[in-house]
Structure 1
Amino acid sequence: MSLRDRWSLYLDLIRWDRPQGWLLLLWPTLMALWMAAGGFPGWHLLTVFTLGTILMRSAGCAVNDFADKDIDRHVERTAQRPLTSGRISVKEVVLIGVLLALVSFALVLTTNAYTVALSFGALAVTIVYPFTKRFFAMPQAVLGVAYAFGIPMAFTAVLNEIPPVVGWLLAGKLAWVIAYDTEYAMVDRNDDLKIGIRTSAITLGRFDVAGVMSLYAVCIACWWQAGQLTGMGWGYDLSLLVAAAQALYHYTLIKGRERLACFQAFRLNHWLGLTVWVGVVADLALRG
């Protein structure tokens, strides 16, 4: 195998051609960063959190594929992943994951001790998450915790403290992650039932669509309350209305529970996050 082919497999491992994954992490993290700073947080923190998000999501993909290597071969969507198909080794996957995490940690070291301490928690949950599919009825909740760590880290990097608004941002992020990852789980539900792993789509059963829409509502409500606590104005509120409209569109996609439509709904979620971040940026800019 040529070096070019091997690099192509490594990029496939970290889902380089599928940026939706790291965008789903990035937008709420940037929301928190802007709210904490009351505007543009500076190039240093913007670079640290943007690159750190991309790197840790990529490391998470490596961890996930390592944990699921024996499961993925039984799922139509994942059977041809590089590790599952035997085109790269377990040793390579572990090495890539460790290197990506170390580079991300080096970035965090340029912030402060509080943020560095939180990064250990983020890493721990990232490692644990893939294994919870074996025994936890709602592993998407664990994923939500892993994906939400960027929010308190953004506040500690700027303010060196975690104010009460972080709780509302975290609750909204957790609800959002469970909502969109349930859409994702609806794609693989038949395969997952055969294998015997746990997902929110299986746990919710015939209430899956209602559950997803309720979680979107909780997300919007929590983020609205976060806006109230930080003095956000009409620009932010407008972005939440647009985000709610996007969530309603997702209902038209997932109500029939068709695999491709559910996958499309999942892939569109990063636009919801972008919408709210733009609302934060615009509102703070107008206020300034």
Structure 2
Amino acid sequence: MDNAYPQASQSRSDDAGRFGRSRHLMKIAEGAARAVGPSLIAAFRAEMAVDYKRDLHDIVTIHDRNAEALIRDVIFANEPNSTMLGEEGGQIGKGDIQWYVDPIDGTANFARGLAFWCVSIAAVEAGAVVAGVVYDPVADMLFASDLERSYLNGHVIVSKSVSDENRATLITGYPVSRDFRLDGQDVALRRFGDLVETFSTLRRPGSAALSIAHVAAGFADAAAGFGVNAWDVAAATLILKNAGGRYVPLTLGKVPAGSPDYLCPGYVAYGAGADYPTLNGVAMAISDGRVAKVLAP
């Protein structure tokens, strides 16, 4: 029996160490996000050149690249044992802590002057997200999470949702042009129509990270997306979960089953207590259809 006490003490010590480490990484992410805020606000709604990556739906600006470089500098200065995957610059560094960075999630909004975009930064250790920050510079709202709680401008947040999907607010970008190609235009529009008819309010604001953070804060009841990357959602997954919400990852046939949530290209994010049959059905139909296409000979 006596042997149990040192083990329990060691376990508490380990937990305290992990939590302290998580807080340290969260504070680095907060500092990095706030560091790029002034320059992004100065550029927002000003004249700017726009470039394109994969197609005309995939916009990038010099401000994305400059912000990512500054975020990288802040992270590596404060935690040298790091490696970073940024949307613009790819993988950099050789450390134990993997950072996922989207310097501007919602670049199309940023470039056109629509005030729904954010900075997203997540820290991952041993395959698990341990700290995350989603910062909206326009509203000066900083969502953050350590291993225990989620915060909005330093105050603990708790997710909430309405129980009836007919009274709920859903945020989703589905369908976009990629979804038309993958699911068929008629099918995708029919699914979208089902969501529009079912939910009290449906919005398409254009940033996965900020949409999920809004669900975590109780500003919306659910969010869904079917073409995201790790830098889009890694931070927001932890913020949502630690606020009491639920994150359902979808592999869409692109990553192996059992992959970490933040590596899955599809998701449904629910506020606390939410479970919406129509959204569940649409999401599963999209997922099953795409998995079947991947597996088809």
Q: TM-score range by the shorter chain?
A: under 0.3
- Of Structure 1 and Structure 2, the greater strand share is in 2
- If asked which structure has higher relative contact order (CA below 8 Å, sep 6+), I would say 1
Q: Decide which structure has greater helix share.
A: 1
**TM-score, scaled relative to structure 2:** 0.26
